[in-house]
Structure 1
Amino acid sequence: MENNSFDINVQLNIETLQSGELTHTKISEPGKFTQIGNSIYLRFNESLENNDKASILVKITEKGEIHVKRVAKSTNLASLLYFTHQEHNTGHLETEYGVLPLDTYTKDSKVEIVSNPLSGKINIDYDLIYDNNVIGNYKFRLIFGA
């Protein structure tokens, strides 16, 4: 089994449209690219207020599915969302009050990775769905390089 790990720089831009309000989140952090077998893992942190951070893990499976896990211990929030091109998936949000099921509908997804020099792009356009209602439209744009 192959296990290659490299230091990378990550740029993540997320555009969110919820209740008619458009917001932008930008993250620029060092991270780690790891390949285990045919799966790829990107790990990095998101800086939060009060010197806190959330850890983010993006996994790309050999079938092209994308899993995004975000854990913010300081706010007791953890989410795990799954993305498959033009399909519905079930994920969840863990809060101190319990687990909320969250669904995603991936309108578009694209992964491009180049090995020399190591760099890549992950684009996901998706709807976030709770209780059969779309609660937000998202554009996830991650760019990384060694």
Structure 2
Amino acid sequence: MENNSFDVNVELNIETFQSGELTRTKISEPGKFTQMGKSIYLRFNESLENGDKASILVKVTEDGEIHVKRVAKSTNLSSLLYFTHQEHNSGHLETEYGVMPLGTFTKDSKVEFKSNPLSGKINIDYDLIYDNNVIGNYKFRLIFSA
């Protein structure tokens, strides 16, 4: 099994439209790019306001499905969301009070990778769904480079 791991710089921009309000989040952090078999993984941290960090793992499978896992131990929150181009997926948010099922509908997704020099983009436009209601519209823009 192929296992190549490289240090990369990650820039993640997220636009959230929820309850009529637009919020923008920008994360710029060092990260790690790993290829295992035909799947690729990006790991990096998000600096939180309280000085702690949330760890983020983005996996792109061989068939183009994207998994985004975010764990913030200091706030007892972790989420796992799945994205498949123009499909509904089930995911969840874990809190100290229990697990909340969340769904996603991926309106658009695009993944690009270049190996020399190592760089890439992962774009996801999606709706976040709870209890059959859209609770937010998101634009996820991740760019990385070695």
Bin of the TM-score, shorter chain as denominator length: over 0.9
Identity fraction in percent: 88
Deviations 1:91-125 (A, max 9, x none): 00000000000000000000000000000000000
Helix, strand or coil at the partner of 1:70: strand
Deviations 1:54-91 (A, max 9, x none): 00000000000000000000000000000000000000
Partner of 2:96 in structure 1? 96
Partner of 2:124 in structure 1? 124
Structure 2 letter corresponding to 1:20: G
Cα-Cα RMSD: 0.3
Partner of 1:138 in structure 2? 138
Write the distance in 2 (CA, Å) between the matches of 1:49 and 1:118: 31
Query: Does the alignment pair 1:75 with 2:71?
Result: no
Partner of 1:105 in structure 2? 105
Partner of 2:47 in structure 1? 47
Q: CA deviation at 1:13?
A: 0.1
Deviations 1:30-50 (A, max 9, x none): 000000000000000000022
Helix, strand or coil at the partner of 1:51: coil
Q: CA deviation at 1:51?
A: 1.5
How many correspondences in the alignment? 146
Write the distance in 2 (CA, Å) between the matches of 1:130 and 1:144: 30
Partner of 2:29 in structure 1? 29
Partner of 1:57 in structure 2? 57
Write the distance in 1 (CA, Å) between the matches of 2:42 and 2:138: 20
Write the distance in 2 (CA, Å) between the matches of 1:36 and 1:122: 18
Which segments of 5 or more consecutive residues in structure 2 lack a partner in the other structure?
none
Which segments of 5 or more consecutive residues in structure 1 lack a partner in the other structure?
none
Helix, strand or coil at the partner of 1:74: helix
Write the distance in 2 (CA, Å) between the matches of 1:113 and 1:131: 35
Q: What TM-score, normalized to structure 1? A: 1.00
